[in-house]
Amino acid sequence: MTLANKVAQFYVDADVVHDIAHGDANTTVDTLGGPVPSLAKLTKDLAASFPLAGPRYLQVREVQPSGMGATTGTASEPNTPIQRILNTVVTNEIAGASLANNAITLPPGKYYFRARSPGNAFGRIASMSGTPFVLYGKSAMTGGLNACDHETVGMATLSAQTQVAIYTVIGEGSVPLGGGKVAEVQVISELEIWKL
């Protein structure tokens, strides 16, 4: 190839690269090596085929103002589940998800859950309506001290719109369910959900 031919080919290749870089989400560019999608088309196609594409995260908490502590749970019978307070949405990127009355409403789909709450007990994530499921958490017993968190993690597939809540399960008697009164705002419990 002569220098003049190389220069001419360079201008052709520059146009091809320009079309790949700046083509819209439906553009495919013909090259000597075969068709190549534009960057916008490649991004669109990958987003459509990747199951976690797009925002799919929800985080809610129990937040208490300064001077307020968490509640005390009282169990009249052993292993009584006590629904935790959830009163603050930190992030909601799941379309159709909402918080009301200490419970999350989720649309159908497959989800990964992670919850943590303080208390000398163990936790649970469970449906209140819709698709029935229960995820059981790890015990957090510390010999009577309330300086521990119990955590619950797991996955569930919801076939219908479902309300989900977190619970602390305690033995008989009264157990503090979080920190005492402090001079700052405090986060007591937290639930994180990823739509898969």
Identity of the residue numbered 146: N
Domain count, the chain: 2
My answer on whether 165 and 71 are in the same domain is yes
My answer on whether 187 and 93 are in the same domain is yes
My answer on whether 45 and 64 are in the same domain is no
Decide: residue 3, CB within 10 A, 0-12 exposed, 13-18 middle, 19+ buried: exposed
Supply φ then ψ for residue 46, to 5 degrees.
-65, -40
Name the helix (H) or strand (E) containing 21.
helix 3-22
My answer on whether 63 and 44 are in the same domain is no
The pLDDT, as a whole number, for residue 57 is 93
My answer on whether 16 and 80 are in the same domain is no
My answer on whether 125 and 65 are in the same domain is yes
My answer on whether 143 and 84 are in the same domain is yes
Q: Are 22 and 3 in contact (CB under 8 A)?
A: no
User: What does the block give as tokens for 30?
Assistant: 């013909």
Supply φ then ψ for residue 146, to 5 degrees.
-105, 45
> What is d(CA 95, CA 82) in angstroms, rounded to the nearest whole number?
28
Name the helix (H) or strand (E) containing 30.
strand 28-31
Residue spans of the chain under pLDDT 70: 47-55, 67-78, 119-121, 139-148, 171-183
My answer on whether 32 and 118 are in the same domain is no
CATH at residue 135: 2.60.120.40
My answer on whether 43 and 64 are in the same domain is no
Q: Are 115 and 123 in contact (CB under 8 A)?
A: yes
My answer on whether 65 and 96 are in the same domain is yes
Q: Are 81 and 168 in contact (CB under 8 A)?
A: yes
> What is d(CA 150, CA 124) in angstroms, rounded to the nearest whole number?
9
Note the pLDDT tens digit of each residue in 82-101.
888 899 999 999 999 999 99
Cα 145 to its chain centre, rounded Å, is 30
My answer on whether 81 and 177 are in the same domain is yes
Q: Are 165 and 62 in contact (CB under 8 A)?
A: no
This prediction has a pTM of: 0.66
My answer on whether 160 and 176 are in the same domain is yes
Q: Which domain holds residue 38?
A: 3-49
- Count of all residues that appear for the chain in the document: 196
The pLDDT, as a whole number, for residue 48 is 66
Q: Are 190 and 116 in contact (CB under 8 A)?
A: yes
The pLDDT, as a whole number, for residue 76 is 59
Closest CA to 78 of 175, 176, 148: 175
